[in-house]
Chain A
Amino acid sequence: MLDALFSICLLSLYVSGLALLIATAVGVPIGASLALRPVPGQRLVEGVIYTGMGLPPVVVGLFVYLLLSRSGPLGWLGWLFTPAAMVTAQVVIALPLVTGLTMTAVRHVNPDLRSQLRALGATPLQVTWAMLREARSGVLVAVAAAFGGIISEVGAVMPVGGNIEGSTRVLTTAIVLETRKGNFELSLALGGALLGLAFFSNLLLLCLQGRVNR
């Protein structure tokens, strides 16, 4: 049983960790860019992002399921009921959170700094990097919020992963299953493991925040 619990924890970390990495790699530059260089239709784009920040996971799960099902446009990938499908669903949940909160964090940096860095000879890329560094606390909050959102969700990973033992069973889907079966002790143990994972992950991010703020 411990082996099973360990592998479920590992898969949870793998799925949510990879989704977070992808969402961070894509969302942080987009958020910074939207804050520093508004695009045509900026309000519409922001509206979409803010709506995305409140997407119900179960709707995301349904959307990704339809996308990846055999008759769906991406069915040829063969990802349905695999960890790849779960990562995809969690990226959809995490991306607007990382993008929106990064955008807000960068906007809160003193706007005068941007032109003053340019006056010191910074290229646009160097300005963006410096502004992101100034907003680092907010960016780390964005990453932590996104991780909290995806490690604890069940609505998206259940339909696209299928909760297959040894393959796509993660902590949240295992808790749902064991609760339905009446195995409350095991459910509570899994819940404790999930809380522990979330706590230590956030602790790690807080330590990182402390280091970068020094």
Chain B
Amino acid sequence: MILYRLAGVRKSYAGRTVLDVGHLDVSSGELLAILGPSGAGKSTLLRLLNFLEAPDAGTILFDGQPLPDGPSPALCRRVTTVFQRPALLNRSVRDNVAYGMRLRGESPDGRVEDALARMDLTALAGAPAHRLSGGETQRVALARALVLRPDVLLLDEPTANLDPYNVALIESIVREQNARLGVTVVLVTHNVFQARRLAGRAGLLLNGKLIEVAPAADFFERPKDPRTAAFVRGEMIC
């Protein structure tokens, strides 16, 4: 089932087009990795998929429905993002993880403690969030997203600059969410190895344009576009 359908979507900032996607489908329950160098438009794509911004042109269908007047709050809450540089509230780790539930009027229950334990944060639950390391902050950001049990999890370079322990932990959680719970995941990254480890399908975004989207095996082993082949080989693309 197609969850997102993007057609002719364009987004510009200060007169510069940063995203120009002719067509992109995201299926329910898949783990799609969008690769590309810095400034390719990956984060902008995630902002559109999370309804944080509207496209300047084109349409985005979510669950088969067009969103001409913007999504309803209920629909917004089916999707959440873990950002590259998470901004946490100046409260305890536990309060940060429970924040999204409180927004929804739900009282923090066992889910919060489960998420803290799963992300190896139980010992830090009462600690002020602003004293955490980069890896711990990223784990809190993932935990606060997961307690919401989203249908769609958008990940914006979730392991950039993290140590191998945190990378392995976050990747295992993402894999579990997708494989066991059926959460649709869109991961944007410039890390080819991570995309290869996680994705069922992958795409390359260059200068705001989608160059190629294909099942992971084809994308990494038999890319059709020479630019994809170059990117997968780790060669610089301008």
Contacts and interface: CB of A to CB of B under 8 A. Distances in A.
Contacts of B77: 121
Contacts of B76: 118, 121
Contact of A113 (B50, B73, B79, B89): B89
Interface in A90-132: 110, 112-113, 115-116, 118-123, 126, 130
Contact of A116 (B79, B81, B104): B81
B87 A121 contact: no
A115 B144 contact: no
B219 interface: no
A113 B83 CA distance: 10
Q: What band does the interface of chain B fall in when counting residues whose beta carbon is under 8 Å from A?
A: 20 to 34
Interface residues of A, number: 15
Contact of B83 (A112, A121, A126, A134): A112
B141 to A, nearest CB: 8
Contacts of B148: 120-121
Contacts of B87: 110, 112-113, 116
B80 A119 contact: yes
Nearest to A110: B87
B47 interface: yes
Nearest to A134: B90
Contacts of B90: 134
B100 A120 contact: yes
Given A115-B47, A134-B89, A134-B90, A120 B80 contact: yes
Q: Is the interface of A mostly helix, strand, loop or mixed?
A: helix
B52 A115 contact: yes
A119 B103 contact: no
Contacts, number: 44
A84 B207 CA distance: 63
Nearest to A112: B87
Given A115-B47, A115-B52, A120 B99 contact: yes
Nearest to A131: B89
Contacts of A112: 83, 85, 87
A65 to B, nearest CB: 44
Contacts of B73: 121, 123
B37 interface: no
B86 interface: yes
Contacts of A126: 103
A116 B96 CA distance: 12
Interface string B81-120: 1010111011000000001100110000000000000000
Contacts of B79: 119
Contacts of A130: 89
A122 B144 CA distance: 13
Nearest to A119: B81
Given A113-B87, A113-B89, A134-B90, A118 B100 contact: no
The 3 closest A-B CB pairs, nearest first, are A113-B87, A121-B77, A120-B100
Given A120-B80, A120-B100, A133-B89, 15 more contacts: A113-B89, A116-B87, A118-B52, A118-B76, A119-B50, A119-B154, A120-B144, A120-B145, A120-B148, A121-B77, A121-B80, A121-B103, A123-B73, A130-B89, A134-B89
30 contacts: A110-B87, A112-B85, A112-B87, A113-B89, A115-B47, A115-B52, A116-B81, A116-B83, A116-B86, A116-B87, A118-B76, A119-B52, A119-B81, A119-B83, A119-B154, A120-B80, A120-B100, A120-B103, A120-B144, A120-B145, A120-B148, A121-B73, A121-B76, A121-B77, A121-B100, A121-B104, A123-B73, A123-B103, A134-B89, A134-B90
